[in-house]
Amino acid sequence: MTTPPNMTSTEYSEVEERISIASQRQLIWWRFKRHKIALIATSIVIAFYLVVIFADFLATGNPSDSEAFRGLMPIQRLHFFDGLKPDMHVCAVSGERDFKTFKRVYETDCDNKIDVRFLAKGYGYRLFGFIPTDRHLIGMSDSSLKSEEYIFLLGTDKQGRDMYSRLIFATRVSLSISLIGVVLSIILGIVLGAVSGYYGGLMDNIIQRLIEIVRSVPTIPLYMGMAAAFPPDWSIVRIYFAITIIISLFAWTDLARVVRGRFLGLRYEEFVTAAKVAGASERRIIFRHMLPSFYSHIIAAASLALPLMIISETTLSFLGLGLRPPAISWGVLLKDAQNVQTIALSPWLLLPAVPVIVAILSLNFMGDGLRDAADPYSDS
Amino acid sequence: MNDGQTYDRQQITQEEVLLDVRNLKKYFPIHKGFLRREVGSVRAVDDVSFKIYKGETVSLVGESGCGKTTISRCIVRALDPTSGEISYSGEDRDPVDLATISQSSFRSFRKEIQMIFQDPFSSLNPRMTIFEIIGEPLLVNNLGNREERQTRVSELLSEVGLPQEYMQRFPHAFSGGQRQRIGIARALAPQPRLIIADEPVSGLDVSVQAQVINLMMDLQDRFELTYLFVSHDLSVVNQISDRVIVMYVGKIVETGPPQELFKNPKHPYTAALISSLPKPDPAQRTAREALEGEIANPASPPQGCYFHPRCPFAVEICKTEAPELKEIKPGRHVSCHRAEELSLEGIPSINEN
Amino acid sequence: MSTDQENQVTETPLLSVKDLTTHFFTSEGIVRAVEGASFQIKAGRTLGIVGESGCGKSVAAKSILQLIDRPGRIVGGEVIYSSPQSGSSENLLDFTPTSERMRRFRGGVVSMIFQEPMTSFSPVHTIGNQITEAIRIHSDLSKTESSELAVDWLQKVGIPNPEQSMNEYPDQFSGGQRQRAMIAMALCTNPSMLIADEPTTALDVTTQAQILELLKELAVQNNMATLFITHDLGVIAEIADDVAVMYLGQVVETAPVEEIFSDPKHPYTKALMTSIPTIYALPRQRLPSISGAIPHPQNRPGGCPFHPRCPSFIEGICNTGVPLLTEFNDSNNVRCFLYEASQ
């Protein structure tokens, strides 16, 4: 009855076929694909999280290995060719103390090449937490494994620790704290937002006022107070989790408001009334009918909350209120760069700022793209 | 059933009352000010009583603010009435007052009372397949396992004239007319006795309206359904109803069979509605006296008869005393002080060619 | 204006639209919203364009005023405006949408009112402010004079307490009053033509009747031509002098209003007439309906756009070519192979 009488159904429905079988998710994906910047940003974000998973594999050396005599070494550039011959290597660097200034001075000696190869042997670790191995992405080839030779792709810090490896591990810590924090705040945000929006009335009032109180607390003094309150005997891991929980206790409010708003709107959608009339229970209405329209918004809100988390953690650690050495995070690394000497003499110590900026920008673009793609019905 | 033929309505005897609405009221409080005090109420439904007999199509017709949609929502308890009774006589059961039972007790009646919605674009969950949408009433009322539901949904799709392969598709793929058919299939799924149709064709193209109206009449014939049809469109109401109830600002002003009502209106508002309707016949174009003024505000209706400020026939009593709904002939009710004496103009008695 | 009063139906139409083609270039494909539509609007008369969704009537009207935004573009055709005062004709599509000529044209020569008045008014300016602005853009009147004229117009359209209403905001008006205010704003510049795009569709029946009466009165008073767009055949019967029926972007039939109803020629027009519910019919009759559904605008059928649903379909002819316009006389034409054969 719907295929017109004078046309075959194949003629009529070729284009329609493709669009009509597409589920909501596919529609969102098609819309997302059109947003080129968001696609690029998403691949960058994926790359970052691959770093989180493969941190050990990507590092060249143990990040906490410190040797005073190789403090503040400059970047050892990775060369791929020796003249015209393909030969991955770095130039050896030797240093000695200048007796007048008592500073270490370094010289690059390119006649002395240190061969570098992929999948080199390095320190041992467990891949994914259970596969023991000692292979790393890049490292010195076995023939050059002498203790005076080293490869510092991004130089070293004051205590002679490999900046490149420290940066990799800092990425792992910073991004995972923020992810856990976001997950926690999503849970809080959804639950409180849903209760607020679905039931309305007094419940809604109380929760909204709570949100306002939480938002009006000035965070830095609060964090300072909390930092002072951490018992000094707490392990790094404990402090890590405590910080995560504290940050997420303040970050859920945005999501809660979004969720509440959507619930309020959805309550009056006709398909919700239709479900009620069909006989659906309240639980089914909330979980099967209302919540699914949120998933894309939640993902979008989450990817926009991540940068905030990253900044929170980085700021806290930068100020000395969050993670402290020997823990490694972007904020901790940047704390070491808080002086004129760094800018003047060892600018490579400022490099941790780069992944912070790139990560935040990428997450923002990705979140924007997701948010725009998430509502295909806004203009259909 | 062929085009142009008339459905046999002989079997509609007004014997069995399916729904008996008595003194139904729904007031929405208005809150103003910083402390949200209640300063008044919108009288959406203001003391409405009517009966629906098994097998018939009763239409509630009126303009915006008349309360017809609110009544339909109260019957399915999407809204809770402020006061009044909605007495429903289920299959082999004693009448139950739907207005006062709890939401959870109401759930056992859900499969008998279903609804078709106005907006085909927002009444289907965009994230569910057609199978899930049509099958939902079956699922939530435990009417069969997955296989049985699939069979039933298949059946329903053919009843409403949609191909089987549509089951796995999503609503966004379909036109307004097709979506409305899906909505009808959903309403039919649990084999209801009463279907409340809330402006089911208002959002559709003209050429599609006829298809859906025909479908609804076919289905009523086949499944002995009873319809409460809510609409603002007098022409559609004429086409589909056995009885028409005209409403104005929360009250019933007149009831009767459609042609009788349109040829011999007894209430000035009904006459005004009829004369305001643009007739698809340029020969009928005369200088009309359009009704003056605006529809009364249900939050602050006029004293006495709500219609009196706009009524060309208003007299003193109309300003002070609200008229009662009286049965002037069997099946004809009017709520007007001057019903007996007025002679109002309806449509001319011409034969449709 | 006085010469036109003697000559209600002038020879040259005020606006002559020929083969207008407007396409929307979306990422999912080209939507051929208007595909070669032709119609004429004569001075002092009302042309009603009737059609269902996807027929292109709104897009055609907006194309006249070049109000088409990206991704839409007018890709062909002519919109010839013949000024009654000077007698000269020009093709409006020769001017760019933002040119001074078009800006003077819009509101000054041709005004437009829309279905949803709330969206044509700025919610943060008073009604009086907006009407006065319209007057001042198209005339040399001073602020006071424009204000007075605005009050005059509010009265003409039947808004109670016009002076007070000047200082009110659009959301304080009811639907019917907003529509009246929009009419005032459209007509205060004394245009020669009004385009009304479904102005009464969102209104109640009784309010609709008031607005239609108002429009008819004002058209006569100001000797104004009207292009009235609607999907409602009843409204067409009430207000139009001539009717153009559109389907999927083309005008399929044009005729004076009496003939469209008494003797429709195109199969679509005929089917439409018989399938609409009316208040005269016997209740519970099965309505004849047009089979099939309106195709998605990106799925235009080849050949005659109506052929998949046409009860008079001729295999081999109707699906292989687009029918040409068959003209019966100055005011009647049809696009259908059934009539092409007999010419």
**Tens digits of residue pLDDT in C119-167:** 788 889 999 999 999 888 888 889 899 999 999 999 989 888 888 989 9
Q: Answer for the pair A370, A300: CB distance below 8 angstroms, yes or no.
A: yes
B23 lies within 8 A of chain A by CB:
no
Phi, psi angle pair for B15, to nearest 5°: -95, -50
Does the pLDDT of residue C9 top 70, yes or no?
no
Shortest CA distance from B173: residue in chain A: A20
Question: Structural domain tally of chain C?
Answer: 2
Place of tokens 């009537």: C57
Which 3 state secondary structure label does DSSP give A268? Answer: coil
Residue C52 is assigned to a structural domain of this protein: no
pLDDT cut 90: percent of chain C above it: 35
Domain stops at, among C128, C158, C190: C190
Percent of chain B past pLDDT 70, that is, above it, reads 93
Among C168, C190, C212, the domain-final residue is: C190
Identify whether C216 is part of a domain: no
Cβ–Cβ < 8 Å for C14, C81 = yes
Backbone dihedral angles phi then psi of residue A127, each to the nearest 5 degrees: -70, 135
Write the pLDDT tens digit of every residue in C177-214: 889 999 998 998 889 999 999 998 888 888 898 899 99
Chains contacting C with at least 3 CB pairs below 8 Å?
A: A, B
Three-state secondary-structure class, residue C302: coil
Look at residue C86 and give its three-state secondary structure. coil
Nearest CA in chain C to B8: C284
Q: In the numeric block, which tokens belong to residue B345?
A: 């103009």
> How many Cα atoms sit within 13 Å of B192 on the Cβ side?
32
Q: Does residue C155 lie in a domain region? A: yes
Cα–Cα distance measured from residue C72 to residue C59, given in angstroms and rounded to the nearest whole number: 9
Do C308 and A12 lie within an 8 Å CB cutoff? yes
Distance CA A98, CA A121 (A): 34
Using the Cβ of C98 and the Cβ atoms of chain A, whether some distance falls under 8 Å is answered with no
Backbone angles phi, psi at A342, to 5 degrees: -60, -50
Q: For residue C300, what are the domain limits?
A: 266-342
Domain end marker among C131, C161, C190: C190
Is residue C229 one of the residues assigned to a domain? no
Q: Is C86 on the interface with A (CB under 8 A)?
A: no
Question: In this complex, do A276 and B78 lie within 8 Å of one another by their Cβ atoms?
Answer: yes
**Backbone φ, ψ for residue A345 (5° rounding):** -110, -35
**Most confident option among B31-45, B121-135, C84-98:** B121-135
Given a contact cutoff of 8 angstroms between Cβ atoms, the answer to whether B311 and C268 are in contact is no
Q: Is C286 in contact with B277 (Cβ distance < 8 A)?
A: no
Is residue C11's pLDDT more than 70? no
What residues in B contact A293, CB-CB < 8 Å? 126-127
The DSSP secondary-structure symbol of C159 reads -
Q: Do C209 and B290 touch (CB under 8 A)?
A: yes
SS3 C340: helix
pLDDT digits (tens, 9 = 90+) for B87-115: 998 777 788 888 888 888 888 888 899 99
Residue C243 lies in a domain: no
Residues of chain B in contact with residue C294, where contact means CB-CB under 8 angstroms, are 175, 205, 207-208
- Which residues of chain A does B171 touch, with a Cβ-Cβ cutoff of 8 Å? none
C28 chain-A contacts, CB cut-off 8 A = 19
Q: What does pTM read for this prediction?
A: 0.80
Helix (H, G, I), strand (E, B) or coil at B125: coil
How far is Cα C90 from Cα C95, in angstroms, rounded to an integer?
10
Q: Give A-chain residues touching C319 at CB under 8 angstroms.
A: 6
**How many CB pairs below 8 A link A and C?**
39
Residue C139 near residue C146 (C-beta atoms within 8 A): yes
**What pLDDT, in 10s, does the model give residues C296-317?**
777 788 888 888 888 888 888 8
**The predicted structure's pLDDT at residue C342:** 56
Cβ of residue C69 closer than 8 Å to a chain A Cβ: no
d(C-alpha A72, C-alpha A77), whole Å: 15
Peptide linkage before A326 cis (omega within 30 of 0): yes
Average pLDDT over residues B224-231: 94
Rg, C-alpha atoms of chain A:
27
CA atoms within 13 A on the CB side of B90: 14
The pLDDT of residue C197: 93
Helices (H), chain C: 2-6, 57-64, 100-108, 117-120, 127-137, 143-156, 162-165, 175-187, 205-221, 233-239, 257-262, 267-275, 337-342
| Cα–Cα distances in angstroms (integers) from residue A184 to residues A244, A253, A263, A297, B263, in the given order | 9, 12, 20, 17, 68
Cβ distance B273 to B246 under 8 Å? yes
Please tell me the predicted confidence (pLDDT) of residue C292.
80
- Interface probe for C, chosen from A7, A30, A34, A372 (most Cβ of C below 10 Å), is A7
Determine the Cα–Cα distance for residues B186 and B181; give it in Å rounded to an integer: 9
Interface of C with B in 79-138 (CB under 8 A): none
Q: Is residue C109 part of a domain?
A: no
> What local confidence, expressed as pLDDT, does residue C4 receive?
45
Domains and CATH numbers, chain A: 64-161 (no CATH), 166-378 (1.10.3720.10)
The residue whose two tokens read 């919203």 is: C33
pLDDT, one tens digit per residue, over B287-325 is 566 787 888 888 888 888 999 999 988 889 999 999 999
Please report the pLDDT score of residue B168 as a whole number: 87
B175, C294 contact by CB (below 8 A): yes
- The answer on pLDDT for B255 being more than 70 is yes
Strand order in the sheet with C89-91: C29-41, C15-26, C72-82, C89-91
The nearest CA of chain A is from the CA of C54 a distance in Å of 14
Residue C167 in domain: yes
Does a structural domain hold residue C28? Answer: no
pLDDT digits (tens, 9 = 90+) for A311-350: 888 888 888 777 877 888 898 888 888 877 777 777 888 8
Mean pLDDT within C220-225: 90
What's the mean pLDDT when you consider all of chain B? Answer: 88
The whole-number mean pLDDT for each consecutive block of 10 residues of chain A, a chain of 380 residues, reads 45 49 70 84 91 84 75 76 72 73 72 73 77 78 59 80 87 88 87 82 88 86 78 78 80 84 84 90 85 78 83 83 82 84 79 91 88 57
Among C136, C32, C38, CA closest to C80: C38
Other CB atoms closer than 10 Å to residue B300's CB: what's the count? Answer: 11
Tens of pLDDT along C250-298? 999 999 999 999 999 999 999 998 888 888 888 888 888 888 878 877 7
Q: Does residue A84 belong to the interface with chain C, where contact is any CB pair within 8 Å?
A: no
Chain A residues whose beta carbon lies within 8 Å of the beta carbon of residue C53 = none
DSSP-assigned letters across all residues of A130-199: TEEEEEEEEEE-GGG--TT----TT-B-TT--BHHHHHHHHHHHHHHHHHHHHHHHHHHHHHHHHHHHHH
Q: Do C296 and A15 touch (CB under 8 A)?
A: yes
For tokens 């570098």, what's the residue?
A116
